[in-house]
Chain A
Amino acid sequence: MPAAIEGLFGFIGRKTFSILRNVHDASKLINDTFYWTFISPFKGKAVRVRATISEMVKAGYNSVPIVGVISFFVGIILALQAAYQLKKVGALIYVANLVGVSLTRELGPILTAIIVSGRSGSSYAAEIGSMKAAEEVNALVSMGINPIRFLVTPKLIALMVMLPALTIFSDFIGILGGLILSATALDMNPFSYMQQTVSSLLVKDVMTGLVKAWAFGVVITIVGAYQGFKVSGGAEEVGRRTTASVVASIFLVIVFDLFFTALFFYFT
């Protein structure tokens, strides 16, 4: 067989094997993470409560300022953009509907997820990656401590709780931003803006946003942990994997957003 063809098949084979290996590693990580988070606590292997709380503080509480500021600005931007169109038809009061619905259903969860994947997703990859490079993960294994239970489970629980919580906060602050803009620049009555927001929002709008936020929390943790555990070399690879984790988690957050939005569109 000519060398070129042999090379081509070789290339296809190597690529396929490497993809299969990655899929295998990722599914093993997902499997182990869910086992150590949801099943093993009932078998007497308790979750590390203090580590979980410390992760919650790092991922959730410490993100409050940045999530607050960004949500506030986005609320104002949304109100301005909505007013730009609605003022032509004299229906400015519907600014409240637009801001409320788009924030709770879409922008609150996704903005929060993107901020958290930049802050926490990258730090998970860097933390686990440098522990891997310094043999700390091996040391855990050699002490009979499962690294996934020790490192990933507290982070997963933290994000599963804190991402929905931050999303609720982001929804409120965003709506507040829209309200302040409307009350000042658009001369609307703040009280009627609030009433309009409350009457336009359904429980389901908020709930779908929270379900999304929960799923994004899972995605960000898994991607960060996956990239971290993939580190096998030194500092340079830690950097590369950290970057990869941010890119991959933002990408997957948007993919999951599309999936859930389509799901809720047809089934709620």
Chain B
Amino acid sequence: MEKAIEVTDLVTQYGDRVILNGISFSIPKGKTTVILGGSGCGKSTLLNHLIGLLKPTSGEILINGHDITAMTEDEFNEFRKKMGVLFQGSALLNSMTIADNVALPLREHTKLEEPTIQIICRMKLDLVSLSKFEHFYPSQLSGGMKKRAGIARAMALDPELLFFDEPSAGLDPVTAAGLDELIIKLRDVFKITIVVVTHELPSVFMIADYVIMLDLGEVIFAGPIDELKASAHPKVRRFLERQAEQETYSPEDYFRFIAGN
């Protein structure tokens, strides 16, 4: 298995609070990897490390063999041109039209002529079926359309790596399934390495080739999707079978807790 990303001993602490506790894993190239986990398990923090918005306390993150935690801002900015990110709220610039949003990375990072940029924009928007909406502003689009426009922008520079933060959050099942299909299409057609952070099970089973599951800042599972389905790890089973967390208090403890002493 060829590795696109390799994380070794990654630790993140805010003061005394440990968010990620020395995790190590690798993400295969050309596949869709889902980072799975309940709320507060550290998956958003992990994503922020992978896209370089946050520096870890210690540990290494190798992307295509280069340690991004040791890079200067300028070096990493060069690197970022090969990465695309779709944020949870799609994060389109509200002051610009959809076409200008998609054109932004091209205008900032390339020396292409304006007509060429517009052709690329239309191609990218057509890829996500938004070609009729190029002159719309983000506020005039629905949630699902905004996400697709966000994908078009992330694809603008033909990245090798694409990150998705909760792509189906806040979408109805039909729109979410449409987005999942788009993710599969991107992997199959462009052979991009895709990393998706989510907790939506239906979407995981549809798109994932490889799964990394986090719990309380630790990796509890890493492997292909079929192994996940067969896993006997109690926490994995509980997640897959949608069982609530066991009652952790004994009645005496609970009484002590509410009595405050």
Residue-by-residue, is B146-185 near A (CB-CB < 8 Å gives 1, otherwise 0)?
A: 0000000100000000000000000000000000000000
Task: Kindly state the separation between the CA atoms of A89 and B153 in the bound complex, as whole angstroms.
Answer: 73
Task: Kindly state the separation between the CA atoms of A143 and B91 in the bound complex, as whole angstroms.
Answer: 12
CB distance from A135 to the nearest CB of B (A): 4
Choose among A138, A145, A146 the residue that contacts B104 (Cβ–Cβ < 8 A). A145
B109 near A: Cβ within 8 Å?
yes
- Chain A residues with Cβ below 8 Å from B80 are 142-144
Choose among B78, B83, B88, B92 the residue that contacts A142 (Cβ–Cβ < 8 A). B83
Q: Is the CB of A134 within 8 A of B109?
A: no
A25 near B: Cβ within 8 Å?
no
B81 near A: Cβ within 8 Å?
yes
Q: Is the CB of B87 within 8 A of A143?
A: no
The closest CB in chain A to the CB of B85 belongs to A142
- Chain A residues with Cβ below 8 Å from B91 are 134-136, 138-139
Q: Is the CB of A139 within 8 A of B81?
A: no
Chain B interface extent, by class: 20 to 34
Q: Which of B80, B81, B108, B153 has the most CB of A within 10 A?
A: B108
- Chain B residues with Cβ below 8 Å from A138 are 53, 87, 91
Q: From known contacts A134-B91, A135-B87, A136-B94, infer whether A142 and B51 are also in contact, taking CB-CB under 8 Å.
A: yes
Task: Kindly state the separation between the CA atoms of A142 and B161 in the bound complex, as whole angstroms.
Answer: 12
A64 near B: Cβ within 8 Å?
no
A235 near B: Cβ within 8 Å?
no
Q: Is the CB of B93 within 8 A of A136?
A: yes
- Chain A residues with Cβ below 8 Å from B40 are none
Task: Kindly state the separation between the CA atoms of A145 and B93 in the bound complex, as whole angstroms.
Answer: 13
- Chain B residues with Cβ below 8 Å from A142 are 51-53, 80, 83, 85, 87
Q: Is the CB of A144 within 8 A of B77?
A: yes
- Chain B residues with Cβ below 8 Å from A141 are 52-53
The closest CB in chain B to the CB of A145 belongs to B108
- Chain B residues with Cβ below 8 Å from A140 are 93
A residues contacting B by CB (< 8 A) are 131, 134-136, 138-146
A-B pairs with beta carbons under 8 Å apart, 5 shown? A134-B89, A135-B89, A135-B91, A143-B85, A144-B81
